[in-house]
């Protein structure tokens, strides 16, 4: 069985873990995996899918860079009778017969979970600083939307500052540093809501350098649940993180193997549900990640 | 014609410095606390210090880039070299190496090696600078990721962290490093003939050849210096966040560095250079970034603001605009004199 | 006897063939018309953008705004189509004219204020991308039937290959560009400007007009590339085509054009694009490289090409 | 030819550069069918006046009338459209374009709207034949020597002129034969009613072709004369603004070659592939070796061979008796040599750098990067040479590109004189230098020789060669055809050797 896998890129540690897990899963199952890194460019991804089709692979797994623009190349795959499974992000297609299924988390839901946790923890009274992901990315848009939809119900919760830190740790630190200064040293800020863990990890350092205690003086909530954030949870510097599992390879291959055998119809969205890890419930996962290795 | 009293050398500083002052003044309006400086446990603390501190990596890159540009070249690989140096240091620390000399030395060596590769390709192999360094720009980030196996390698090492978050005489250590690097290269370029040779290679490589200047050697040297500066910047960036992020460290910073040099008034065709002006350029860029953050404008306007400010600052420096303006004000005063 | 002048061109061309053959020996299904035609289909927008870039570089300038103009074009077209129900052709007219004006403005700033192209177009790059994020942060899908019709249009070639509209457009642009570069006065002026702007001015070349036209022409082609790109992705997205300017510059330079201006050929650029495309195809056929090895391999292959080009072309050609 | 109806009339033209008043209230009148010499010292403002006439610079005051109508050219294209065609002082052609394209740039013949390359190449080859140039016109211009390029520029200028032709020092590196051919063409087109402005520093050429003379000094007009009314002596004193004591021509003491003393430089059957055929010659310390020959005879290439620019393929080059084989010009410089190249725009000046830096850079390079010449010393050196060579500048810190052509040449000469060499190769050192300074430079050359310097000077000007050479090597087709020394050196003998009779 030959499967082509078109990955977004390697822009974060989370993404690399995702790629590696898909590769490991393919090896375990004896699948011949054609891996292609698109370096965050949709055009590269379309090129890769075209060349998978030209090579005559049995199935294609795509982790799309953006939601739109897949119709022509998916049609081409369909003409060549190659099934497509989408993982991670969504695709925007009217004709959902072009792909078998989509295995992905729900960004809006993640934003909601983060907001719900925060509103519970602060009883709905909170001045929030938001660190956005890359402007225009679907993760940033979805998480922002979900989060805002929840806090809209709490009149005493509001976002006082919002700025992009491009999903990176270094930017997270730099932006937080300035925001703290602009907000009078950060005394008035009750929480930091970060669209991913990396930015949160950077921001924590800025908070510490400003003489405040992250997690105590300022709640820190983010999304992803990467390894480093567990260390921060253990140190009490982060309040909560919403899990977004990178292990989507297994379910994707399950679907492909079954589809190739039975051609059965799948639900168009298999949601990868994520837990919310907090300073209370992180221990088990922490052990699973660090002690076993 | 009578304004010739200031030396031409100083005259070049006027507009970039005015641009910087203008931006700072904007901050005064949008965030009055911008100029507050306090001393907290022996450290100076405030937004102005942040500007200096955050500008440090780009300022370091700009020092090396200034020399490269003065020879008529350009170094696109500095961002990737930052990532490599950070990755090398981080992985050494994680592997249990404790000696600062080894860790920092290895990072710097990696940078110089990368620079030498670029310099060799440009100087001795005759490949156009933009392509020669494009190779390392693409491959270098791959190498950095290879070293880190694609992950963000986090570490904790007191000594190394000092590079990024330490304070020396109340100033953030990165700022001190920039000052040291500036003084070092300023001395090297202006108290020896190196600066003259660098300019001559950039101004007219044919003529340099006839004088017997070893242009290949000069090119090799400037790219090596650029690699060295990039490595230092990369280690600062890694030390700052306590981790080496091979994917994002220094991403697109080559453009900022080039921008800094050009805002400082250097020509990309080579020739005259001024390290001090390039550093002012770096400060302008960083002030702008912090201004945007402080202003609270939605992030989607960031790029537009950046574009507008760059064009404004460049136009401010353009003698052609000065001439137009003076002609315009002349005709204004004439017409008002006629009316009055 | 072959003309020495065209030696770099021959070398580039044979290097492309060599890599294509190497791929064919190594992988099944590589040596097919389909893979070859895909090189054009997948890179049609890049060919168009790189052709425009060739002119800019020949004139001694550079344009970093290309990728952003492509993105802006896509966003404007998709918003006009989806939110305002315009007909695509009307939207195309708007973006082509808009692109031309944008380029002309950059050219005018470069010329009249004696600013460096690198920086002016860098600001242009920020401007165009900034404008597209302001217009729409989210990616806007295009659903107009016109797009479906055009994407259905094309010619069946043997071996499952498909010659589509974008490929045809890119080839037409290429041929037109070759004629403009080598058989019109405008082309001559562009080469003149790149050779020595001061001398060109003294010889009566209208510097202002030529500079402005070159940037206008390039941005117009970038807008056309943006339209082709919108057919490629059926959407407009403010983060699309990031870094395409670097790909275009690399293609131009690999194609043998000197960045200092004045020397090079438009056809070379085509081979530059094809070489980069075949490297990518090669890597995805291989399919075992991790993300970072992909980058390293691209870098190494790029190096090999340029080194080979230097070594093969060097004898006789002076470095200075 | 009436003054009421001049072809081109400039009245009260003024032009100011930052810090310099280049022109002030200059009148200039060109009549149809005349050849009008525009003369003046280096930096007098000749080139600036020409650039103002043709729209390269915008005048700050005054008026320009062409055929009675005021014109305001803003670029050379405007002037060309009026039929004013110009050959500027430096060769201003495009090195990357083919020779033919250079000749027809901007007015390419077209067929069906597309450029007709066949016709361009054919016509260009035909045109250049008229100047005794049988070259491959499809090759890029950079392939050819400066002198050839100069001829191409002239051919282009002449071919384009329909009203006025302006020639700014076109003859600077042409040999006598070429100059005669040019004069013939000039007379022909003047006869057609075209007015010609001619700038030169060779006074005999002025009298050979010109009808009228206008002299500038320090950016102001000295006066206008009919050539036949102004004696050479008056001309020179009007140019310099003072009487000169007597003819500037120094007749050096030419010793017959004495066989004692070791040669400083000796070539033994030295040859470079494709540029110089095996030849032998030697220069002793204190001697000047002149290189004579026609255009393309290989003088420049011989200098390049000696200096290590071109590789030595055969034979030996001995410096102080030791064989040397330079791989880079650097080694030649360290061995005490210097080469002042003929193409000052491309191989000479560092445009944006200051006069001071341009002067000391060769010396500095020889000393190495570490031993920086103190700024004070640099300034002294620069001031010294500015005075010694009469370089017209207000400030040694000015970028060299702002100097006039002749003054740039002087700076480059100063660069090599300052570099403390033992053997200097000067390729057309007096190109574009005015009569006053010319004499000084020749005197300086002699003085240097007395101090024990060896010199090799390539020049197209026989008079000059005769004035300072101890020995003249005559080249033809890159072969040595004669070696004339001592009292045998005179123009007659050299001419004969060149002509091969
Ligand atoms: N671009 C410029 N910027 C500033 N000063 C200039 C510029 N061009 C010329 N000058 C100055 O104007 C004066 C006249 O120069 P010009 O070139 O006209 O002299 P010239 O008579 O042609 O001399 P030459 O015989 O040496 O060619 C000189 O003092 C020169 O320094
Ligand atoms: N009239 C000509 N016809 C053909 N080729 C020429 C002619 N003149 C010069 N060349 C070419 O130009 C090159 C220049 O030779 P070189 O520079 O050594 O000559 P030169 O004696 O210094 O004369 P000059 O510098 O006055 O041209 C030679 O390689 C020769 O091929
Ligand atoms: Mg002159
Ligand atoms: Mg010569």
Convert the pLDDT of each residue in D135-176 to its tens digit: 999 999 988 888 889 889 999 999 988 889 999 988 877 888
Q: C34: nearest CA in chain A?
A: A54
Q: What is the tens place of the pLDDT at every residue in C93-121?
A: 999 999 999 999 999 999 999 888 988 99
- Length reported for chain B: 340
Residue A60: phi and psi, rounded to 5, are -125, 135
Per the structure block, which two tokens stand in for D197? 């402005």
Q: What is the tens place of the pLDDT at every residue in D333-382?
A: 888 899 988 888 888 899 889 999 999 999 999 888 888 999 999 999 99
Cα separation, B64 vs B229, in Å, equals 6
Cα-Cα-Cα-Cα dihedral of B158, B163, B169, B175, to 10°? -160
Ligand 2 pocket test target in D145, D294, D306, D472 with most atoms within 8 Å of CB: D145
The yes-or-no verdict on residue D396 having pLDDT over 80 is yes
Distance in Å, alpha carbon of C160 to nearest chain A alpha carbon: 9
CA distances from C218 to C47, C120, C224 (A): 12, 14, 10
- The band of B10, judged by pLDDT with boundaries at 50, 70 and 90, is confident
The yes-or-no verdict on residue A229 having pLDDT over 70 is yes
Q: Shortest CA distance to A250 belongs to which of A17, A26, A14?
A: A26
Nearest by CB: B203 against D18, D353, D369: D353
Q: Is D494 in the pocket of ligand 1 (CB under 6 A)?
A: no
Could you count the other beta carbons within 10 Å of the beta carbon of residue C232? 26
Contact across the interface for C292 and B318, Cβ inside 8 Å:
no
Range of the domain at B253: 11-296
Show contacts of A75-81: CB within 8 Å, 24+ apart: A76/A49, A76/A50, A77/A49, A77/A53, A80/A53, A80/A56
Cα separation, B204 vs D290, in Å, equals 29
Judge whether B339 lies within some domain. no
**The pLDDT of residue A92:** 83
3-state DSSP helix/strand/coil percent for chain A, to nearest 5? Answer: 45, 20, 35
Q: Is D44 in the pocket of ligand 1 (CB under 6 A)?
A: yes
Q: Is D300 in the pocket of ligand 2 (CB under 6 A)?
A: yes
The yes-or-no verdict on residue A113 having pLDDT over 90 is yes
Residue from B211, B221, B326 whose CB has the most chain D CBs within 10 Å, to mutate? B211
Cα separation, C163 vs C245, in Å, equals 26
DSSP C32: S
Instruction: Tell me the H-state helices in chain A.
Output: 13-28, 42-55, 71-79, 107-122, 138-151, 169-182, 197-209, 227-234, 249-262, 283-290
Residue D175 CA to ligand 4 center (angstroms) comes to 10
Cα separation, B57 vs B81, in Å, equals 12
Cα separation, A84 vs A102, in Å, equals 9
Q: Which H or E element spans position B196?
A: helix B194-203
Judge whether B278 lies within some domain. yes
Q: The domain spanning residue B177 has which CATH number?
A: 1.10.3470
Q: Is D102 in the pocket of ligand 2 (CB under 6 A)?
A: no
Q: Is D303 in the pocket of ligand 2 (CB under 6 A)?
A: no
Judge whether B65 lies within some domain. yes
Q: Is D417 left (phi over 0), alpha (psi -120 to 50) or beta?
A: alpha
Average pLDDT over residues D263-277: 85
Output the average pLDDT for chain D.
86
Q: Shortest CA distance to D53 belongs to which of D168, D159, D150, D155?
A: D168
Per the structure block, which two tokens stand in for B155? 């570490």
Instruction: Tell me the H-state helices in A99-137.
Output: 107-122
Q: Is D404 in the pocket of ligand 1 (CB under 6 A)?
A: yes
Q: Residue of the nearest CA to atom 12 in ligand 1? A: D22
HSE value, Cβ hemisphere, 13 Å, CA-based, for C187: 20
The yes-or-no verdict on residue B98 having pLDDT over 70 is yes
Q: Is C289 on the interface with A (CB under 8 A)?
A: yes
Residue B57 CA to ligand 3 center (angstroms) comes to 48
Q: Which residues contact A228 (CB under 8 A, 6 or more apart)?
A: A13, A197, A201, B152, B154, B243
Residue C111 CA to ligand 1 center (angstroms) comes to 24
Judge whether B22 lies within some domain. yes
HSE value, Cβ hemisphere, 13 Å, CA-based, for D63: 7
- Length reported for chain D: 501
CA distances from C166 to A79, C272, D274 (A): 20, 18, 51
Q: Is D38 in the pocket of ligand 1 (CB under 6 A)?
A: no
Q: Residue of the nearest CA to atom 26 in ligand 2? A: D295
Report chain C's C-alpha Rg in angstroms.
20
Which range has the worst mean pLDDT, C128-142, C288-302, D103-117, D413-427? C288-302
Widest CA span in chain C: 60
Chains that touch A (3 or more CB pairs under 8 A): B, C
HSE value, Cβ hemisphere, 13 Å, CA-based, for D59: 26
**The pLDDT of residue A193:** 96
Judge whether B308 lies within some domain. no
Q: Could you give the domains of chain D?
A: 8-240 (3.40.50.300), 272-499 (3.40.50.300)
Contact across the interface for C239 and A137, Cβ inside 8 Å:
yes
- The band of A260, judged by pLDDT with boundaries at 50, 70 and 90, is very high
Cα separation, D199 vs D219, in Å, equals 15
Instruction: Tell me the H-state helices in B31-99.
Output: 47-70, 78-94
Report chain B's C-alpha Rg in angstroms.
22
Q: Is A257 on the interface with B (CB under 8 A)?
A: no
**The pLDDT of residue D1:** 42
Per the structure block, which two tokens stand in for C110? 């470069």
- The band of C1, judged by pLDDT with boundaries at 50, 70 and 90, is very low
Which range has the worst mean pLDDT, A284-288, B260-264, C126-130? A284-288
Distance in Å, alpha carbon of C314 to nearest chain A alpha carbon: 34
Judge whether B309 lies within some domain. no
HSE value, Cβ hemisphere, 13 Å, CA-based, for D24: 10
Per the structure block, which two tokens stand in for D196? 């010609």
Report chain D's C-alpha Rg in angstroms.
23
Contact B218, B273 (CB under 8 A): no
The yes-or-no verdict on residue D20 having pLDDT over 80 is yes
**The pLDDT of residue C162:** 81
Average pLDDT over residues B25-49: 82
Q: Is D298 in the pocket of ligand 2 (CB under 6 A)?
A: yes
Q: Which residues contact D257 (CB under 8 A, 6 or more apart)?
A: D470, D471, D485, D486
User: 3-state class of D421 per DSSP?
Assistant: coil
Q: Is D55 in the pocket of ligand 2 (CB under 6 A)?
A: no
Q: B7: nearest CA in chain D?
A: D397
User: 3-state class of D332 per DSSP?
Assistant: helix
- The band of D266, judged by pLDDT with boundaries at 50, 70 and 90, is confident
**The pLDDT of residue C279:** 87
Q: Shortest CA distance to C177 belongs to which of C161, C190, C163?
A: C190
Q: Is A181 left (phi over 0), alpha (psi -120 to 50) or beta?
A: alpha
Q: Could you give the domains of chain C?
A: 4-312 (1.10.3470)
Q: Is D327 on the interface with B (CB under 8 A)?
A: no
- What's the pTM value of the predicted model, to 2 decimals? 0.90
Contact across the interface for B31 and A182, Cβ inside 8 Å:
yes
Q: Is D56 on the interface with C (CB under 8 A)?
A: yes
Output the average pLDDT for chain B.
89
**The pLDDT of residue A264:** 85
Contact B20, B283 (CB under 8 A): yes
More confident site: B318 or B7:
B318
Q: Residue of the nearest CA to atom 6 in ligand 2? A: D296
DSSP D140: B
Residues of A in contact with B245 (CB under 8 A): 168-170, 198
Number of domains observed in the structure of chain B:
1
Q: A26: nearest CA in chain C?
A: C288
Judge whether B325 lies within some domain. no
Per the structure block, which two tokens stand in for B274? 């001024």
Cα separation, D455 vs D417, in Å, equals 11
Q: What is the tens place of the pLDDT at every residue in A49-105?
A: 999 999 999 999 999 988 888 988 998 899 899 999 999 888 888 888 899 999 988
Cα separation, C97 vs C92, in Å, equals 8
- The band of C159, judged by pLDDT with boundaries at 50, 70 and 90, is confident
Judge whether B216 lies within some domain. yes
Per the structure block, which two tokens stand in for C255? 């194609």
The yes-or-no verdict on residue C149 having pLDDT over 60 is yes
Instruction: Tell me the H-state helices in chain C.
Output: 7-26, 33-58, 66-84, 88-112, 117-135, 145-152, 165-183, 185-195, 197-202, 207-233, 244-254, 266-286, 291-313
Chains that touch C (3 or more CB pairs under 8 A): A, B, D
**The pLDDT of residue C228:** 95
More confident site: B207 or A184:
B207
Cα separation, B67 vs B74, in Å, equals 9
Residue D425 CA to ligand 1 center (angstroms) comes to 27
Q: Which residues contact D445 (CB under 8 A, 6 or more apart)?
A: D288, D426, D429, D455, D457, D468
Q: What is the tens place of the pLDDT at every residue in D435-478?
A: 877 887 888 778 888 888 888 999 888 888 888 888 899 998 88
Cα separation, B71 vs B201, in Å, equals 5
Q: Do chains B and C touch (3 or more CB pairs under 8 A)?
A: yes
């Amino acid at each position: 069985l030959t499967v082509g896998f078109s990955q977004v890129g390697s822009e974060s540690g989370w993404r690399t873990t995702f790629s590696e897990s898909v590769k490991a899963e393919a090896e375990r199952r004896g699948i011949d995996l054609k891996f292609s890194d698109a370096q965050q460019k949709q055009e590269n991804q379309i090129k890769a899918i075209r060349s998978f089709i030209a090579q005559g692979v049995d199935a294609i797994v795509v982790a799309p860079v953006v939601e739109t623009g897949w119709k022509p190349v998916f049609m081409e795959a369909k003409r060549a009778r190659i099934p497509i499974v989408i993982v991670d992000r969504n695709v925007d297609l009217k004709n959902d017969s072009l792909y078998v299924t989509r295995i992905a988390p729900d960004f809006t839901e993640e934003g909601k979970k983060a907001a719900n946790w925060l509103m519970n923890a602060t009883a709905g009274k909170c001045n929030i600083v938001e660190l956005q992901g890359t402007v225009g990315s679907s993760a940033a848009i979805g998480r922002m939307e979900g989060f805002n939809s929840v806090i809209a119900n709490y009149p005493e919760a509001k976002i006082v500052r919002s700025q992009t830190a491009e999903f990176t740790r270094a930017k997270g630190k730099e932006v937080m540093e300035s925001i703290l200064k602009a907000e009078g040293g950060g005394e008035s800020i009750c929480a930091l809501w970060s669209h991913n863990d990396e930015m949160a990890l950077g921001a924590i350092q800025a908070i510490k350098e400003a003489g405040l205690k992250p997690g105590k003086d300022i709640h820190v909530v983010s999304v992803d649940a990467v390894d480093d954030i567990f260390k921060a949870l253990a140190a009490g510097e982060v309040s909560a993180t919403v899990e977004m599992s990178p292990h989507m390879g297994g379910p994707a291959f399950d679907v492909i193997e079954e589809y190739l055998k039975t051609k059965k119809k799948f639900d168009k969205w298999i949601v990868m549900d994520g837990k919310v890890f907090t300073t209370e419930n992180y221990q088990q996962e922490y052990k699973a990640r660090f002690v076993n290795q | 014609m009578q304004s010739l009293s200031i030396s031409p050398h100083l005259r070049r500083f006027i507009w970039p410095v005015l641009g910087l002052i203008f931006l700072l003044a904007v901050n005064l309006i949008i965030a009055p606390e911008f100029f507050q400086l306090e001393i907290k446990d022996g450290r100076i603390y405030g937004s102005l210090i942040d500007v200096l501190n955050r500008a440090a990596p780009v300022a370091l890159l700009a020092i090396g880039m200034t020399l490269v540009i003065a020879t008529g070249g350009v170094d696109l690989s500095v961002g990737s070299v930052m990532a490599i140096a950070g990755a090398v240091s981080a992985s050494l620390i994680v592997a249990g190496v404790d000696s600062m000399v080894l860790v920092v030395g290895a990072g710097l060596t990696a940078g110089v090696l990368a620079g030498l590769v670029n310099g060799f390709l440009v100087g001795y192999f005759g490949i156009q600078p933009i392509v020669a360094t494009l190779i390392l720009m693409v491959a270098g980030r791959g190498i950095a990721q290879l070293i880190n196996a694609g992950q963000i390698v986090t570490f904790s090492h007191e000594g190394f962290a000092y590079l990024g978050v330490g304070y020396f005489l109340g100033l953030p250590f990165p700022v001190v490093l920039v000052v040291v690097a500036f003084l070092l290269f300023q001395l090297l370029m202006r108290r020896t003939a190196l600066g003259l040779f660098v300019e001559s290679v950039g101004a007219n490589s044919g003529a340099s050849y006839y004088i017997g200047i070893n242009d290949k050697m000069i090119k090799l040297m400037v790219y090596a210096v650029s690699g060295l500066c990039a490595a230092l910047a990369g280690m600062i960036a890694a030390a700052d966040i306590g981790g080496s992020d091979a994917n994002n460290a220094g991403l697109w910073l080559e453009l900022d560095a080039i921008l800094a040099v050009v805002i400082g008034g250097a020509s990309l065709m080579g020739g005259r250079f001024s390290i001090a002006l390039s550093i002012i350029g770096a400060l302008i860029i960083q002030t702008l970034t912090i201004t945007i953050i402080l202003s609270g404008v939605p992030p989607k306007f960031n790029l537009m603001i950046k574009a507008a400010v760059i064009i404004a600052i460049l136009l401010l420096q353009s003698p052609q605009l000065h001439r137009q303006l003076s002609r315009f004000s002349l005709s204004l005063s004439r017409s008002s004199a006629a009316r009055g | 006897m072959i003309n020495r002048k065209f030696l770099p061109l021959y070398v580039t061309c044979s290097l492309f063939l060599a890599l294509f053959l190497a791929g064919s020996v190594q992988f099944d299904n590589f040596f097919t018309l389909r893979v070859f035609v895909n090189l054009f289909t997948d890179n049609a927008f890049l060919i168009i953008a790189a052709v425009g870039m060739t002119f800019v570089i020949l004139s001694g300038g550079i344009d970093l705004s290309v990728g952003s103009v492509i993105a802006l074009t896509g966003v404007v077209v998709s918003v006009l189509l989806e939110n305002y129900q315009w007909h695509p052709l009307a939207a195309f007219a708007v973006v082509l004219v808009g692109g031309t004006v944008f380029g002309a403005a950059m050219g005018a700033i470069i010329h009249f204020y004696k600013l460096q192209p690198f920086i002016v177009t860098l600001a242009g790059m920020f401007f165009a991308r900034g404008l597209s994020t302001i217009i729409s942060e989210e990616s806007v899908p295009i659903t107009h039937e016109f797009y479906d019709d055009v994407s259905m249009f094309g010619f069946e070639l043997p071996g499952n290959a498909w010659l589509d509209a974008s490929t045809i457009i890119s080839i037409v642009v290429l041929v037109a560009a070759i004629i403009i570069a080598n058989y019109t006065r405008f082309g001559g002026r562009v080469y003149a400007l790149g050779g020595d702007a001061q001398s060109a001015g003294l010889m009566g070349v209208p510097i202002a007009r030529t500079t402005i036209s070159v940037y206008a022409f390039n941005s117009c082609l970038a807008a056309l590339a943006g339209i082709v790109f919108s057919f490629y992705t059926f959407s407009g997205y403010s983060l699309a085509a990031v870094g395409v300017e670097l790909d275009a510059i690399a293609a131009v330079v690999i194609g043998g054009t000197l960045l200092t201006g004045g020397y090079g050929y438009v056809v070379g650029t085509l081979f530059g694009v094809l070489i980069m495309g075949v490297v990518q195809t090669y890597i995805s056929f291989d399919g075992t490289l991790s993300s970072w090895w992909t980058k390293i391999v691209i870098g190494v292959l790029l190096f090999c090409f340029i080194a080979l080009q230097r070594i093969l072309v060097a004898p006789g050609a002076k470095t200075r | 030819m009436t003054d009421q109806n001049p072809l081109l009339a400039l009245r009260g033209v003024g032009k100011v550069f930052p810090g310099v008043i280049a022109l002030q209230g200059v009148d200039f009148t060109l009549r149809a069918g005349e050849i009008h010499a525009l003369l003046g010292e280096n930096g007098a403002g000749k080139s600036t006046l020409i650039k103002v006439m043709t729209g390269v610079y915008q005048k700050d005051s005054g008026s320009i009338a062409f055929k009675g109508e005021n014109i305001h050219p803003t670029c050379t294209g405007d002037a060309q459209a009026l039929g004013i065609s110009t050959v500027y002082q430096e060769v201003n052609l495009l090195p990357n374009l083919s020779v033919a394209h250079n000749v027809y740039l901007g007015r390419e013949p077209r067929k069906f709207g597309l450029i007709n390359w066949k016709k361009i190449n054919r016509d260009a080859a035909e045109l250049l034949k008229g100047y005794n140039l049988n070259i491959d016109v499809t090759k890029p211009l950079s392939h050819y020597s400066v002198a050839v390029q100069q001829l191409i520029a002239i051919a282009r200028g002449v071919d384009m002129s329909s009203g006025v032709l302006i020639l700014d020092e076109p003859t600077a590196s042409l040999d006598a034969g070429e100059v005669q051919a040019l004069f013939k063409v000039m007379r022909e087109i003047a006869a057609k009613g075209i007015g010609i402005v001619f700038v030169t520093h060779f006074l005999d050429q002025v009298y050979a072709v010109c009808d009228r003379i206008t002299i500038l000094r320090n950016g102001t007009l000295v006066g206008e004369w009919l050539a036949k009314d102004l004696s050479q002596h008056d001309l020179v004193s009007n140019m310099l603004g003072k009487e000169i004591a007597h003819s500037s021509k120094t007749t050096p003491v030419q010793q017959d070659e004495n066989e004692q003393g070791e040669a400083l430089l000796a070539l033994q059957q030295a040859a470079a592939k494709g540029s110089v055929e095996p030849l032998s010659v030697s220069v002793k310390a204190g001697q000047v070796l002149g290189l004579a020959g026609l255009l393309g005879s290989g003088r420049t290439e011989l200098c390049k061979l000696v200096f290590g620019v071109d590789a030595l393929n055969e034979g030996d080059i001995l410096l102080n008796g030791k064989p040397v084989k330079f791989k880079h010009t650097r080694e030649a410089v360290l061995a005490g040599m210097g080469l002042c190249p003929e193409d000052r725009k491309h191989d000479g000046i560092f445009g944006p750098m200051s006069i001071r830096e341009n002067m000391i850079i060769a010396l500095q390079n020889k000393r190495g990067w570490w031993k920086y010449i103190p700024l004070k010393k640099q300034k002294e050196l620069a001031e010294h040479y500015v005075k010694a060579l009469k370089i017209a500048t207000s400030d040694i810190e000015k970028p060299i590109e702002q100097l006039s052509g002749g003054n740039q040449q002087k700076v480059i000469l100063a660069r090599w004189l300052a570099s403390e060499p033992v053997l200097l190769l000067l390729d057309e050192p007096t190109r574009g230098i005015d009569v006053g300074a010319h004499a000084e430079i020749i005197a300086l050359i002699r003085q240097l020789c007395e101090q024990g310097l060896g010199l090799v000077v390539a020049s197209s000007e026989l008079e000059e060669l005769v004035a300072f050479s101890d020995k003249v090597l005559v080249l033809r087709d890159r072969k040595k055809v004669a070696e004339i020394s001592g009292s045998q050196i005179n123009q007659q003998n050299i001419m004969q050797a060149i002509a091969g009779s």
